[in-house]
Amino acid sequence: MNAPRLAALRGAAHALADGWTLAAPFWRARGQRRAWVLLAAVVGLTLATVWLNVRFNRWNNAFYDALQNHDMPGFWHQLGVFGVLAVLFIVAAVYRQYLQQVLFIRWRTWLTERLSHGWLQPGTAYRVGAAGAPVPVDNPDQRIAEDARGFVASTLDLSLGVLNASVTLVSFVGILWGLSGSLVLHGYSVPGYMVWVALVYSLLGSGLAHRLGRPLIGLSGEQQKVEADFRYALVQVRDHAEAIALARGERREGARLCDRFEAIRANWTALILTTKRLTWFSAGYGQVAIVFPILAAAPRHFSGAIQLGGLMQIAQAFGQVQGALSWFIGAYPQLADWRATVNRLTRFDAACDDDLRAAHAPVIERGAPAGEVLRIDSLVLATPDGATIARLPPARFESGGRVLIQGPSGAGKSSLLRALAGVARNGSGRIVLPAGTELMFVPQRPYLPEGTLREALAYPADPAAFDTPALVQALQRTGLAHYALQLDESARWAQRLSPGEQQRVHFARVLLQQPGWVFLDESTSALDEAAERELYAALHAHCPATTVVSVGHRASLQPLHDQQWSIHDGTPSRHAVNEPVAFQQWPGVAAVRATVRALNAMQHQEKRDERDENDSSAAPTGACAHAAATPAARAAAAGPADSAGDAVSAGDRCGAASARRRLHHHDRRRDVAHRLARRARAGDRQGRAARCGRRQRRRRHQRLHARAVAVG
């Protein structure tokens, strides 16, 4: 056996093994008794269809004999038999198709849930699609949607097709053997010669079909890939239509789409050329198969050995046997698609399984949570292909702090947050997370799922966990009060909201869920500095127990935090290396925190005043009570009219006192806001001066060090 044929056999064996690996878990899973019942019913109806074909074969003999003998009663009788067989065949065919489709959707549902579950494990969807991943996976959405559907449909069709061909071959080979008789060639008698003719005819046809159609396997897989790439490019244009329109990039996007479609056209051209060659052969093969058995059996008919009915029965039996043996030829294009689909699903499933196994033995060790401290021990961050991004010394993040991580782009700031979240595992070192608290990570690119605004605010929690007043309050505190009446409106909020509004929604999520630690990755990059200060003030005021760790480039973030960790060129700055905690205190923070505490105290005082007003409306106390009681004491002497007038004047005095208190609180809030703005500006000026001094000292130290090296 030559090498190409041996390689083809090995590839077919591997494809069958991979197909069984994908299919077996469904049939072994618990609760699939109904699936087995459906399969048994479909198999039973398939066998019934074969039995009916055998009955049709016998009917052919009787019917054509009646025609040859001019037997009118026999002719009408055979028509009645045909009607009964036809009704039974139609019922079997309809229910076989119906039950097969029911089994198909049940199997596809299970497979889709299994693939989605593996893909949506924590961080798996990000890692298997990241550049440089060990097992590259392109278009996972297409594999879950299209490939899963194609695998289930093709597996059922091909499996039942093999079963039907096998049973048909066993059922008709005996009939053909008995009807064909013996053929004498060169003095040798060949019994059942029509069976041997059908076998040789089918083997030759299958070999030629495989030789002509073998390129279809690779072309079908490539066609699925380029189609998915083209759909992805179209989705990108749809999702970024505004940016494309503002940049006047329609022509460039059109050229990019043309390039993607050109790949489809080129691969499709190769596909149809290969299909054309295969169709030339299969169509001719099928047409010859119609007359070939009649030509082979015609000598016996003309010799009087068999009648017309026997000739037609032999022709039909030969067609059934030859069709069963030639099933491979007709199913070759579907087999090529099935094999390409199996290869894609196997790679996708293997990538998800490998990622899950890597979670139990990660390169970056994650220690058991301990205390209220987040600790980093000699952490090295790397890309999936092994390139080092940053080397970080041991550090501790205490609970309750406000930490700002800064540094140039590419220094490893966002990679650090991914490592803390467990999304990125490449590198080395150890991370110990705080115990008994919830960690929330806010990414640099906002994500708003399709659905209602209520669902977008609660994501990823259940919207039922938050009542409407809490959601409205979160919107108000983050500057989105104008959307309070649209909580239950379904829309594509990622397209409807501006980037700044999307970042405000992320802050509203933090206010709603009240995590113990929140990590913000450039979460105010689309907002101006005033809006940035407002959101951080709301975060500090309404989440006082939350530890905030921010990543950002803006200098305006520094007064909003009390600790800083600077990363330059992939390593922390000099003061971060020498100190166990690489932090720096910034001026103006104490004033901001004092102002936040004052705002909280005022809010509590307002709530107490509101409760006092409610109590006074039910039972007046103090001066208002005296004012109300005095007219009541005079009512007995002055009469109803005078007492009513005194009561009205007392109510006016109570309302005036309440209004004065509200005005006083409003003035206090305005003064505090002015003080906050002045102190923040002063902190900015002091911070800039401090940074300038540090830069000068660093440059002086570098010059002295260079001179010392030159002298040495």
Give the pair of three-digit tokens for residue 200.
Answer: 């040789």
Mean pLDDT to the nearest integer, 403-418: 84
Ramachandran angles phi, psi of 72, nearest 5°: -65, -50
Give the pair of three-digit tokens for residue 662.
Answer: 């509200």
Q: How confident is the model at residue 35 (pLDDT cuts 50, 70, 90)?
A: very high
Mean pLDDT to the nearest integer, 184-193: 73
Q: How confident is the model at residue 707 (pLDDT cuts 50, 70, 90)?
A: low
What pLDDT is recorded for position 668? Answer: 59
What pLDDT is recorded for position 428? Answer: 82
- Give the list of residues 6+ apart from residue 491 with CB closer than 8 angstroms, or none: 450, 453
Give the pair of three-digit tokens for residue 707.
Answer: 């001179």
Judge whether residue 94 has pLDDT over 90: yes
Of the candidates 324, 329, 343, 243, the one whose C-alpha atom is nearest the C-alpha of residue 278 is 329
Give the pair of three-digit tokens for residue 613.
Answer: 């007003």
Q: What is the pLDDT of residues 595-633, one digit of tens each?
A: 445 555 665 566 666 666 555 554 444 433 333 333 333
List 490's β-bridge partners, or say none: 452
What whole-number distance in Å separates Cα of residue 417 and Cα of residue 420?
Answer: 5
What whole-number distance in Å separates Cα of residue 370 and Cα of residue 359?
Answer: 20
Give the pair of three-digit tokens for residue 273.
Answer: 């050329």
CA trace torsion 95, 100, 105, 111 (10° rounding): 160
Q: What is the pLDDT of residues 544-602, one digit of tens each?
A: 889 999 998 888 888 888 888 887 654 444 333 333 333 333 334 444 445 445 555 66
What pLDDT is recorded for position 641? Answer: 39
What pLDDT is recorded for position 695? Answer: 66
Judge whether residue 211 has pLDDT over 50: yes
Judge whether residue 283 has pLDDT over 60: yes
In the numeric block, the tokens 């596909």 are attached to 271
Strands 427-432 and 365-367, by their bridges, are parallel
Sequence-separated contacts (24+) of 96-104 with Cβ below 8 Å: 96/42, 96/45, 96/46, 96/49, 99/38, 99/41, 99/42, 99/45, 100/42, 100/156, 100/160, 102/38, 103/35, 103/38, 103/39, 103/42, 103/156, 104/152, 104/153, 104/156
List 621's β-bridge partners, or say none: none
What pLDDT is recorded for position 700? Answer: 65
Of the candidates 40, 24, 36, the one whose C-alpha atom is nearest the C-alpha of residue 114 is 24
Contact 219, 266 (CB under 8 A): no
Q: What is the pLDDT of residues 97-149, one digit of tens each?
A: 999 999 999 999 999 999 988 888 877 887 777 655 556 677 788 888 888 99
Give the pair of three-digit tokens for residue 45.
Answer: 């109806």
- Amino acid (one-letter) located at 563: Q
What pLDDT is recorded for position 251? Answer: 87
Q: How confident is the model at residue 155 (pLDDT cuts 50, 70, 90)?
A: very high
What whole-number distance in Å separates Cα of residue 627 and Cα of residue 654?
Answer: 9
What whole-number distance in Å separates Cα of residue 501 and Cα of residue 547?
Answer: 23
In the numeric block, the tokens 């979670």 are attached to 359
What whole-number distance in Å separates Cα of residue 105 and Cα of residue 35?
Answer: 10
Q: What is the pLDDT of residues 664-696, one digit of tens each?
A: 555 555 565 556 556 555 555 665 666 666 666
Asked which of 22-26, 255-259, 327-331, 648-652 is least confident by mean pLDDT, the reply is: 648-652
Contact 119, 350 (CB under 8 A): no
Of the candidates 302, 205, 218, 307, the one whose C-alpha atom is nearest the C-alpha of residue 267 is 218
Specify the pTM. Answer: 0.62
Contact 184, 303 (CB under 8 A): no
What percent of the chain shows pLDDT beyond 90?
19
Judged by DSSP in three states, 401 sits in: coil
What pLDDT is recorded for position 118? Answer: 87
List 392's β-bridge partners, or say none: 379
What whole-number distance in Å separates Cα of residue 331 and Cα of residue 90?
Answer: 23
- Neighbouring C-beta atoms of residue 408, cutoff 10 Å: 12
What whole-number distance in Å separates Cα of residue 547 and Cα of residue 398?
Answer: 8
Asked which of 251-265, 412-426, 521-535 is least confident by mean pLDDT, the reply is: 412-426
Considering only CA atoms, give the Rg of the chain. Answer: 40
E strand or H helix at 660:
helix 640-711
Which range scores top for mean pLDDT: 286-300, 368-382, 475-489? Answer: 475-489
- DSSP state at residue 145: I
What whole-number distance in Å separates Cα of residue 84 and Cα of residue 65?
Answer: 20
- DSSP state at residue 369: P
Q: How confident is the model at residue 349 (pLDDT cuts 50, 70, 90)?
A: confident
Judge whether residue 244 has pLDDT over 70: yes
What pLDDT is recorded for position 471? Answer: 93
Judge whether residue 40 has pLDDT over 50: yes
What whole-number distance in Å separates Cα of residue 191 and Cα of residue 605?
Answer: 109
Q: What angle do CA 132, 138, 143 make, to 5 degrees?
A: 145
Sequence-separated contacts (24+) of 319-322 with Cβ below 8 Å: 319/289, 319/290, 319/293, 320/53, 320/57, 320/168, 320/169, 320/171, 320/172, 320/176, 321/168, 321/169, 321/172, 321/173, 321/176, 321/195, 321/198, 322/198, 322/201, 322/202, 322/289, 322/293
Mean pLDDT to the nearest integer, 346-361: 77
What pLDDT is recorded for position 623? Answer: 37
CA trace torsion 310, 314, 320, 323 (10° rounding): -150
List 518's β-bridge partners, or say none: 440, 548
In the numeric block, the tokens 């198999």 are attached to 43
More confident residue, 274 or 648: 274
Sign of CA dihedral 596, 597, 599, 600: positive
